[in-house]
Chain A
């Protein structure tokens, strides 16, 4: 995977994770173009896009768009399931996740993502294992810094 973007229906970026080295300028251009392209698409349309030399897989969950860029030989459907698994993880972690959870706790969303995907590859596909790892880290920080 080359990058993952989360953005709202209004086109606001909620999360961005880049697995390929790109300059700040390139990142901005890509996300701007891509957000525009995807928002212009109708709901019943295909979840896959050939965009520039990339293959884009996106899915909309309520007001949030999850969008991944993968290489040409990658399996689109499994990428779609990666997105879904990520949403499931978020849902489990936040308990009925909503966009605001992601907005206000975006760093948590990043932690979950990092535990699930590493360097652009699925690291741990077991939901239980991912959440366990996150919980451990969270627990540790709470123990260290009791409020």
Chain B
């Protein structure tokens, strides 16, 4: 049938030429409407059409007003008026005449009159009131056609308030002998129910009668009412379930007259209506659902013909099956059915399949699994509608694992449809919501270009209202996020937050004080979980926000603390720092001193050098591989699989000879750094840092991350053959130096730090040939050494000796004469991260080095407020530069942070923190001194020395604490005597040095000292010492809230003093 129709219709364009005789011939070619239509077809411009219609309307107006116009003419006029209205021209003057026509015309004219009324008027139109009497009259007419017309118009529109006037008559029609009247009456009542439910409440019993009408048409019509009723209140109609099931079974079984078949399918509309009703009835009701399982199954089975209408039934059936109380057998069949839809080559069915999947995956996400490939294909479908539905489906099955791809796809879609406001709004919000949950969920694991895409989405939008709202929404939600606990947020998310706040905080400027965002960012900066990379993003954001005095002050403060980070941040963006000029001059104008880095300040002490930023221009890019930061939050994970990695853009690592003797800060060292500064490092530009990136791009964080991506790709291709470890790190540079520091949970808990240097089989044969090292060479560092903190943990360093051929030019530059005489402590000091530089720390202690001392490891402990930080430095003692370096860290118990500052030849490499209040060491070894039994807590073990932290208190606080502590101990200790110090001072200094005590005050022959425990059972607990010189010994009085602590501390004091 449809073929015929289409064929006929396709012949049409040729007919619709200028001369439309053929079509018009069917009607009356001479009729006025025919002329009008023909006239319009002949026109070429919209303007002409307007003129013609205007003329036509004038003529219509004239005619309807004329008393001589007959009703027959009026009918003809009304048709023309309808036509003009359809073309979009107002013919409101004719409305009243349409009503008149319905009132006064004969049946024929009445029909057109009613039609015109139903087309012209609205339910709310006051004109309709004029129609009520006419309708009432016609309803009571003996002419069947008139009654039908009246019911038809009533079912389409009727003034709500007038319903009571005609309701009895309509009700009466429910028992009319003619089924067409009954059917229309039912639909009229349905309409009344929709617009005024209260008015038809009393006739519910009559609805039931209609449901049982012998005519299927009337019954079908009554289902409209029941669908509505059951949808609103399923509980009241549960008793109908049986009837509905029976009806459906009869329909499916082909019991209806053949008239109701549609393409050989029995009454599909009725079936679908019934299925919908059953869905409402069976929803969350097992008993009711059980009644319908059979018939649902039968519907599924019967609807197997390959025609759209059977698919329609199947689709409804599947929906019902998934809505009612589940029955696994049916669900299986339904799922299969959905599969057929999804796999169908017909696009409409595919769409519905996706839609059905979207619906069902909310119950069981696994249902999407068999269709993965189809879904992926649909994602790239040329039809936007399919794409969108697919995204909707994906949105429902988003989890931590697949979030990456899904969000990516969503953003792709968003970019494609940026012209469609409603779409961008809708999906933008979806994405926005997802982004937040997703970032905090999937966070660091995801590809860096996803946040980039998101940021681009935010950035690229035109400056319209929607975009601003989206941005403001983002800013607001991020601000509130930052106000909460930020420790759990992944680094990438923090980076996104920083960027968004930096860019768009101005949008909310009106409602909050300008400093608030700045303060939030600063807080973020100070938190220790914040990675270096994130910090640089934060700083970037802060730069953008320096618009108010408050912000500038804050920024200045931050700036001074984090200059080392700036150094690594800025080159990535703009090596000339030009974009900072404004800010710097502003800050300078505001009275800030020109910035100097810690090590420059030292430099300046010696030789008042001008500020030179050149060395920083070459510092390392911040682009740490994301995994190096991400995995550290889970120490167990670290030990299991992941390995923290870092890598260096080697060209900046110029390693000069550094001896293993550690001196104190001194003149010579300063000379060294002075010598280094002017080194023309620019001659070795790192490919990453070369000024090829134009400043315009610099502010885009996205550009900053792209190399990262590149690296990943490179890394996978470069290190594919290595595979010795579960993760591959590094990047970009073929390995010449490998250094593995491994924490081996060795069983013997030996007090030896093993430093095992052995050659690594390098990829490059030529380099490994020249390898002077013998595998298995071991160097032992005795217990009690400075690294006792990681004592018991094995440490393995592997260094192949091959330092790449250094560019001769560079070698010369790096070879200033006095190099050999330089002490080394100072350079390392200057490489302490700024955060740590002001804190108390131990001396730098060499841990190990390879045989020719070309590479050395050294460590120092830094005592933070809340943690003990172990810093490990790798330094190159060789004169040749290290061009490549790869580092792999495995650490079970420590949180490892990786720092790279890339300053010349020292690489402060990583540090790990042991937060106070977390027990790290399960070592129950009680090698402590005194005659304690085995129950003695761990604080007596030798580790005490490393567990002790200075406690900074004022004398006043000391006094208060002293009085509140109950456990005390008195003992005499020997005094340390030196040449140029008072015995007391000398002794306390010695203790301070060895045990990291804090000397609170020295008054005369008395001194007060405080410390606290970093770890162990008494962690965080203080211990106070009161020392008094008595004769040639030191009378010490210790007090602590922990009983064993004074005893333990005393022992260590004794030991420390004996050692000196």
Chain A residues with CB under 8 Å of chain B are: 12-17, 19, 21-24, 28, 42, 44-50, 52, 61-64, 73, 75-78, 80-82, 84-85, 87-88, 91, 94, 96-101, 103-107, 110-111, 114-115, 118-119, 121-129, 133, 136-137, 140-141, 144-145
Chain B residues with CB under 8 A of A115:
152
**Is there an interface contact between A76 and B348, defined as CB atoms closer than 8 Å?**
yes
Q: Which residue of B lies closest to A31 (CB)?
A: B88
Q: Which of B108-116, B934-942, B1013-1021 contacts A (4 or more CB under 8 A)?
A: B108-116
Q: Quick check: A81 and B108 within 8 Å, CB to CB? A: no
Asked if B152 contacts A114 (CB within 8 A), the reply is yes
Q: Is A45 a contact of B347 with CB atoms below 8 Å? A: yes
Q: Which of B7-15, B482-490, B707-715 contacts A (4 or more CB under 8 A)?
A: B7-15
Contacts A/B (CB < 8 Å), 9 sampled: A13-B88, A17-B119, A77-B352, A78-B268, A100-B24, A106-B83, A114-B118, A124-B217, A126-B217
Contact call A140/B145, Cβ cutoff below 8 A: yes
1/0 per position for B143-160, CB-CB distance to A under 8 A?
Answer: 111001100100111000
User: Are A81 and B270 also in contact (CB < 8 A) when A97-B5, A104-B34 are?
Assistant: no
The answer to whether B22 and A84 have CB atoms under 8 Å apart is: no
A12 to B37, CA, bound (A): 12
CB < 8 Å: which of B1, B122, B187, B351 contacts A46?
Answer: B351
A-facing residues in B149-182 (Cβ within 8 Å): 149, 152, 155-157, 180
Alpha-carbon distance A97/B11, docked complex (angstroms): 11
B72 x A63 contact (CB < 8 A): no
Say which one of B310-318, B587-595, B947-955, B1027-1035 lies at the interface with A: B310-318
> Which partner residue on chain A sits nearest B21 by CB separation?
A100
- Indicate if the CB atoms of A49 and B88 lie closer than 8 Å: no
Report the Cα distance A128→B311, complex, angstroms: 24
- Contact B352 A123, beta carbon cutoff 8 Å: no
Instruction: Say yes or no: B259 contacts A128, CB within 8 Å.
Output: yes
Residue of B nearest to A133 (CB): B180
Proximity bits, B418-445, A CB within 8 Å = 1, else 0: 0000100000000000000000000000
Is the beta-carbon distance between A133 and B148 smaller than 8 angstroms? yes
A81 near B309: Cβ-Cβ < 8 Å: yes
Does B190 belong to the interface (CB within 8 Å)?
Answer: yes
Q: Which residue of A lies closest to B108 (CB)?
A: A141
Are B119's CB and A118's CB within 8 A? no
B window 248-297: CB within 8 A of A: 257, 259-260, 262, 267-270, 272, 276
Residue pair A97, B8 in contact (C-beta under 8 Å): yes
Which of A16, A61, A122, A140 makes the CB contact (< 8 A) with B6? A61
Measured CB to CB, the closest approach of chain A to B33, in angstroms, equals 7
Cβ A137 vs Cβ B190 within 8 A: no
Mask for B384-396, Cβ within 8 A of A = 1, else 0?
0110100000000
Which chain A residues lie closer than 8 Å to B143 at the CB level? Answer: 140
> In the assembled complex, how far is the CB of residue A70 from the closest CB belonging to chain B, in whole angstroms?
12
Asked if A63 and B8 make an inter-chain contact with CB atoms under 8 angstroms apart, the answer reads no
CA distance A22 to B124 in the complex (A): 9
Which B95-152 residues sit within 8 Å CB-CB of chain A? 106-108, 111-112, 115, 118-119, 122-124, 143-145, 148-149, 152
- B123 engages A75 (CB within 8 Å): no
Docked-complex contact B217 and A97, CB < 8 angstroms? no
Contact of A81 among B9, B118, B308 (CB under 8 A): B308
The verdict on B90 contacting chain A, using a C-beta distance below 8 Å, is yes
Residues of chain A within 8 A of B613, CB atoms compared: none
B27 at the interface (CB under 8 A from A): yes
Q: Are A121 and B6 in contact (CB under 8 A)?
A: no
Which partner residue on chain A sits nearest B423 by CB separation? Answer: A50
Q: Are B24 and A104 in contact (CB under 8 A)?
A: yes
A125 touches B270 (CB 8 A): yes
Contact check, B5 vs A127: say whether CB atoms are below 8 A apart. Answer: no
- Asked if A100 and B15 make an inter-chain contact with CB atoms under 8 angstroms apart, the answer reads yes
Contact residue among A52, A88, A96, A104 (Cβ-Cβ distance under 8 Å from B2): A88
Contacts of A101 in B (CB 8 A): 23, 26
Contact A77 B311 (CB under 8 A): yes
Query: Please, how many angstroms separate the alpha-carbon atoms of A99 and B13 in the complex?
Result: 9
At the interface, yes or no: B209 with Cβ under 8 Å from chain A?
Answer: no
Q: Which 5 A-B pairs have the closest CB atoms?
A: A100-B23, A62-B9, A77-B312, A141-B108, A126-B259
**Is there contact, CB below 8 Å, between A75 and B312?**
yes
- Contact present for A125 and B82 (CB under 8 Å): no
Q: B640 an interface residue at 8 Å Cβ cutoff?
A: no
Q: Which residue of B has the minimal Cβ distance to A73? A: B276
Complexed CA–CA distance, A12 and B287 (Å): 53
Is A123's CB under 8 angstroms from B221's CB? yes
Given the known interface contacts A49-B385, A136-B144, the answer about A80 and B348 at a Cβ–Cβ threshold of 8 Å is yes
Residue in contact with B309 in the complex, picked from A46, A62, A77, CB distance below 8 Å: A77
Q: How far is the CA of A130 from the CA of B217 in the complex (A)?
A: 11
Q: How far is the CA of A48 from the CA of B388 in the complex (A)?
A: 12
Complex Cα distance A122/B312, Å?
15
List chain B residues, Cβ under 8 A from A13. Answer: 86-88
| Complex partner residue of B156 from A12, A19, A126, CB under 8 angstroms | A19
Instruction: List the B residue with the shortest CB-CB distance to A56.
Output: B385
**Is A129 within 8 A of B259, CB to CB?**
yes
- In angstroms, Cα B388 to Cα A71, docked, is 18
Q: Is B447 engaged at the interface, CB distance under 8 Å to the other chain?
A: no
Cβ-defined contact, B108 with A145, below 8 A: yes
Chain A residue at smallest Cβ distance from B152: A114
Q: A100-B23, A119-B191, A140-B145 are in contact. Are A125 and B269 (CB under 8 A)?
A: yes
Nearest residue, chain A, Cβ from B143 = A140
Query: Which chain B residue has the least Cβ–Cβ distance from A84?
Result: B2
Given contacts A48-B348, A78-B272, A137-B145, A62 and B1 within 8 Å (CB-CB): no
Contacts of A133 in B (CB 8 A): 148, 180
Chain B residues closer than 8 Å to A87, beta-carbon distance:
2, 5
Contact B348 A77 (CB under 8 A): yes
Q: Is A62 in contact with B6, judged by CB distance below 8 angstroms?
A: yes
Q: Decide: A96 near B13, CB < 8 A? Known: A45-B383, A46-B347, A104-B24.
A: no
The residue in chain A whose Cβ has the minimal distance to the Cβ of B154 is A119
User: Other CB < 8 Å A-B pairs besides A13-B88, A82-B269, 16 of them?
Assistant: A45-B382, A46-B347, A47-B347, A48-B385, A49-B385, A61-B2, A61-B5, A76-B351, A78-B272, A99-B23, A100-B15, A110-B115, A111-B115, A118-B156, A119-B190, A125-B268
| Chain A residues, CB < 8 A from B404 | none
Residues of chain A with a CB closer than 8 A to B257's CB: 126
Q: Does B333 contact A (CB under 8 A)?
A: no
Q: What is the CA–CA distance of A140 and B221 in the complex, to the nearest angstrom?
A: 26
Most A CB contacts (10 A, CB to CB) among B79, B308, B386 go to B308
Instruction: Provide the bound-state CA to CA distance between A17 and B187, in Å.
Output: 17
Q: Which residues of A contact B15 (CB under 8 A)?
A: 98, 100
Closest B residue by C-beta to A92? B1
A52 and B115 form a contact (CB under 8 A):
no
Tell me the minimal C-beta distance from B93 to chain A in angstroms.
14
Q: A48-B348, A101-B23, A119-B156 are in contact. Are A16 and B385 (CB under 8 A)?
A: no
State whether the Cβ of B481 lies closer than 8 Å to any Cβ in chain A: no
Asked if A119 and B155 sit within 8 Å, CB to CB, the answer is: yes
B23 touches which of A85, A104, A124 (Cβ 8 Å): A104
A91 to chain B, nearest CB (A): 5
A52–B420 Cα distance when bound, in Å, is 11
Check if A96 sits within 8 Å of B221, measured CB to CB.
no
Minimum CB–CB distance for B976 against chain A, Å = 84
Contacts of B112 in A (CB 8 A): 107
B184 interface residue (CB < 8 Å to A): yes
Let me know if A75 and B220 touch, CB within 8 A: no
Q: Which residues of B contact A48 (CB under 8 A)?
A: 348, 351-352, 385
Say whether B20 faces chain A, with CB atoms less than 8 Å apart.
Answer: yes
Report B349-383 CB contacts with A as 1/0, cut-off 8 Å.
01110000000000000000000000000000011
Find chain A residues with CB under 8 A from B65 CB: none
Chain A residue nearest in CB terms to B75: A107
Residues of B within 8 A of A42 (CB): 382-383
**B183 within 8 Å of A by Cβ?**
yes
Closest to A28 in B: B88
* B16 touches A (CB below 8 Å): yes
In the complex the two chains form, is A123's CB within 8 Å of B13's CB? no
Q: A137 CA to B124 CA in the complex, in Å?
A: 29
